[in-house]
Amino acid sequence: MSQPSPDTLQLTGSGRLRNFLTIDALPRSILEEILDTAASFVDVGDRSIKKVPLLRGKTVINLFFEPSTRTRTTFELAAKRLSADVLNMDIARSSTSKGETLMDMLRNLEAMSADMFVVRHGDSGAVDYIARHATPEVAIINAGDGRHAHPTQAMLDMYTIRHYKGGFAGLKVAIVGDILHSRVARSEIHALNILGAEEVRVVAPRTLLPADIDSLGAKVFTRLEDGLRDADVVIALRLQKERMSAALLPSESEFFRLYGLTNERLAVAHPDAIVMHPGPINRGVEIASEVADGPRAVILHQVTFGIAVRMAVMSLCMSGRETEREAAHAAAR
């Protein structure tokens, strides 16, 4: 597959990461750098002092316009393990709920000498908009926007796959469930194709497939057993009922009967197949407890690796910006 063209909003002039908004416009070398850097951070959590000084003196602000527990917490832990000062904005109680515009709020936060915004927003494209309009001094990390992208979740999933499978060449990866509403699925499909997976599959009822699925680079299956056959990696997605504006499913029990992961259905996958889920899990809807708690599941490891991957993204963005500033100062002298 051809490499995407360089993205100046995300990359510096020398090709280093400056914002992390989406995966589809990034080259393979950047994704591999994130994975390699994350590998150097994985054992930080096992040390007696769980910190490295890379972001000492920097201020990271978490701006979550949607509810989140796992993602917000792991971003906060990642920033603290990099020694940054962290501020979590309670948007429901912020001045935006009193009529202040988003850009006015951002300008005020920038005036507090923030160095990085980690943003989750319910509207697709909102994080890109912020990156284009925020001061160039502030790095922007996308923590999930609408149905568009969730690039750090995709990268922690890539890290998990590489950890257990050694690489991506020759792998068949099946993504099962609510593809239509999943920003995770879109980012995973892009990442798997860029990193060289042999075959990326999506498995879902037609009502939960996006209209542009053929253009994303995934093979479509509507029957679960066909999609799971010989798969090396199986990723179950959460049913996002909060994003469903119409009745797209007869019932949750009917979805589980046709698309729920059970040991019996996974028998057609590769014997060494691993099972992943971005969480939170709906047991008995997307996945049976026997699978979620079974030997194939690596779901809790995804959470652990997520901290290291987010540390990698944050440190690489900050490092890219520091290098860009030094080059600009040198050119001005």
Annotated binding site for carbamoyl phosphate: 70-71, 120, 150, 153, 279-280
Cβ atoms of 200 and 218 within 8 Å: the answer is yes
The binding site for L-aspartate consists of: 98, 183, 238
Q: Which of 326, 330, 312, 323 is nearest to 78 (CA)?
A: 312
303, two tokens? 């959470």
The binding site consists of: 70-71, 98, 120, 150, 153, 183, 238, 279-280
Cβ atoms of 150 and 184 within 8 Å: the answer is yes
The rounded distance, in Å, linking the Cα atoms of 53 and 56 is 5
Give the contacts of 180 (CB within 8 A, at least 6 positions apart).
Answer: 147, 204, 207, 208, 209, 210, 248
Give the contacts of 197 (CB within 8 A, at least 6 positions apart).
Answer: 168, 169, 171, 172, 173
Eight-class DSSP state of 267 = T
The rounded distance, in Å, linking the Cα atoms of 207 and 221 is 12
The rounded distance, in Å, linking the Cα atoms of 53 and 55 is 6
Q: Kindly state the greatest CA–CA separation across the chain.
A: 68
Query: What is the DSSP code string of 198-246?
Result: SEEEEE--GGGS-TTGGGGT-EEESSHHHHHTT-SEEEE----GGG--S
Give the contacts of 18 (CB within 8 A, at least 6 positions apart).
Answer: 10, 11, 12, 139, 317, 320, 321, 324
Cβ atoms of 183 and 144 within 8 Å: the answer is yes
